[in-house]
Structure 1
Amino acid sequence: MTPIAGRSLRSILFLLALAAIGLTLGGWAIGEIMRLQPCPLCIFQRLLFLLIALLALTGALLPAASRVSGILVAVVAAGGVATAAYQSWLQYQPQAGMDCGFGEPTFIERLVDWFGALWPQMFLATGFCSSKDWVLLGLSLANWSALCFIGFLAAAVLILRRRGD
């Protein structure tokens, strides 16, 4: 029996929303305390965590939408895994890839710039994606982010596999 099996779908979605908000605030706090400069991919991952929180909260508050919410959480989490994996690759092979911020702005960079103009303390990107300024247990923030997105993806898959709730 998995830990998810004994809980209601609403409580699981609510816990996912809280976890995503907690990760967003935790990443922001680490950046502020350590004086780290977040890059466009860091900020984009922050936005993806907030989107997961919004989708999970929607599913928790509107039980009829919980299945669609689970599907969308899985899709966003998969996008987060891809984003964090790409940033991890940039960090481990900086000479092999193009760093963000050079050349014509991508959709992600434009989106991040827009949010940065709205709320600079939370979303202003000033760093380089290939920088690995903070490491814990041998893993960068991008690596930790990828693991968290994998966790959200796994939880969404388990939610979708549940029968009636």
Structure 2
Amino acid sequence: MFKTLKSLSMQRWPWLLLALTALAMELAGLYFQYQLNYQPCIKCIYIRVAFAGILVAALLVLLAPRQLLLRLSGTLLWLGSALYGLFQAQELVNIEQTLASGGFTTCALFADFPAWLALDKWLPAVFEVTGTCGGVDWQFAGLTMAGWSRVLMAAYALSALLILLSQLAKLSRNPYRG
């Protein structure tokens, strides 16, 4: 299995597929915001940043997937972004559950990006906080957006971890030998 994953990670099309899925999630978030008027909270914005990190990671490796250093760097960025997104999605699910059970909680109204990565200032249409945490406006198959984000980020993290571990596998010189 790891040899197959390593071989796949050295091709362009899996990285293109990864980039397209992350881009699709970004576009879905923008559709929900600008077409359906569901305003993103701080956690939603941080989840968007995680999807953007996965997109950047995929595009980075797409440049030269056969270069080990680039592939490892991209995979680590992918894994880090997915884990960050998973953490943010879990926090948002917790906020939703607290509010649904009658409790009280709140979250920040403004993004706390470092000065060198002021995404909310550079691209406010994508990364500016315009909503508050905990409002459940949309559900599909019993999961909210936060719940689906948690599922997707867990899948991304698991995939990235498997790809990272596969880099330790040795490929045979002759692809026709077992």
TM-score range, shorter chain: 0.7 to 0.9
Counterpart of 2:125 (choices 101, 121, 124) is 121
Q: 1:116 to 1:7 in 2, by over 3 A?
A: same
Alignment CA distance shift 1:164-1:30 (3 Å): farther
Are the structure 2 counterparts of residues 72 and 115 from structure 1 closer, same or farther at C-alpha, using a change threshold of 3 Å? closer
C-alpha distance in 1, partners of 2:53/2:107? 22
Structure 1 stretch displaced more, 27-36 or 38-47: 27-36
For residue 83 of structure 2, the aligned residue among 72, 78, 94 is: 78
CA positional deviation for 1:34: 1.5
The amino acid that maps onto 2:63 is L
The reply on whether 1:11 has 2:13 as its aligned counterpart is yes
Which residue of 145, 152, 163 corresponds with 1:159? 163
Counterpart contact for 2:22–2:55, Cα < 8 Å? yes
Structure number with larger C-alpha Rg: 2
Query: Is 1:92 equivalent to 2:97 in the alignment?
Result: yes
SS of match in other structure, 1:36: coil
Instruction: Tell me the CA shift for residue 13 of structure 1.
Output: 2.1
Unaligned runs of 5+ in 1: none
- For normalisation by structure 2, the TM-score amounts to 0.77
Cα gap change, 1:16 to 1:97, in 2 (>3 Å): farther
Contact 2:9 2:163 in 1 (8 A): no
Q: Is the 8 A contact 1:58 1:69 kept in 2?
A: yes
Query: C-alpha displacement at 1:136, in angstroms?
Result: 1.2
Using the size of structure 1 for normalisation, the TM-score is 0.83
Q: 1:36 aligns with which of 38, 49, 64?
A: 38
Q: Secondary structure at the match of 2:34?
A: helix
C-alpha separation in 1, matches of 2:80 and 2:9? 22
Query: 2:53 touches 2:77 (CA, 8 Å); kept in 1?
Result: no
Alpha-carbon RMSD across the aligned residues, in angstroms, is: 2.5
Task: Note closer, same or farther for the CA distance 1:48–1:97 as it changes in structure 2 (3 Å cut).
Answer: farther
Contact 1:132–1:140 (CA<8 Å) still a contact in 2?
A: yes
The equivalent residue for 2:28 is 26
Residue in structure 1 matched with residue 146 of structure 2 by the alignment: 142
- Structure 2: how far apart are the matches of 1:131 and 1:36? 9
Post-superposition Cα deviations, 1:67-126, rounded to whole Å, max 9, x if no partner, equal 221122112211111110000100111365641126xx6xxx2229x4333333222211
Is this contact kept in 2: 1:13–1:60, CA < 8 A?
yes
**Count of residues in Structure 1 that have an aligned counterpart in Structure 2:** 159
Q: Secondary structure at the match of 1:110?
A: coil
Identity of aligned residues (%): 27
